[in-house]
Structure 1
């Protein structure tokens, strides 16, 4: 069925609307899944960045106060 033809009856119209509804629902679920994965990836990236920052801060403090405990 192309865009210029109208459904022959209400049953055809209902089926067409159901198909469109299912297609839209599937696309939304796919997009939601993608956004969830992207969010997880961002969280992992931020955690790694924070971990690197903490490690460099610890290394800096160790070098600055290396005389402590001698």
Structure 2
């Protein structure tokens, strides 16, 4: 019996709720717009343009973003 290997790497962009153009709220920087999202399953990052501080690259694990 041959068992298939499971060495595939699954790559995806941010969850669909954080696609470019989506407005989000950050607890410190306020309201912003997602410009880009990228990364792998447990390390997804988003670029968000905030009116108060400009563009920030954030890890979704730690950012506490809320979709508006």
Asked if TM exceeds 0.5, the reply is no
Structure with higher RCO (Cα < 8 A, 6+ apart): 2
TM range, smaller chain: under 0.3
Q: Which has the higher strand share?
A: 2
Q: TM-score normalised to the size of structure 2?
A: 0.23
Q: Which has the higher helix share?
A: 1
Q: TM-score normalised to the size of structure 1?
A: 0.22
Q: Which has the larger radius of gyration?
A: 1
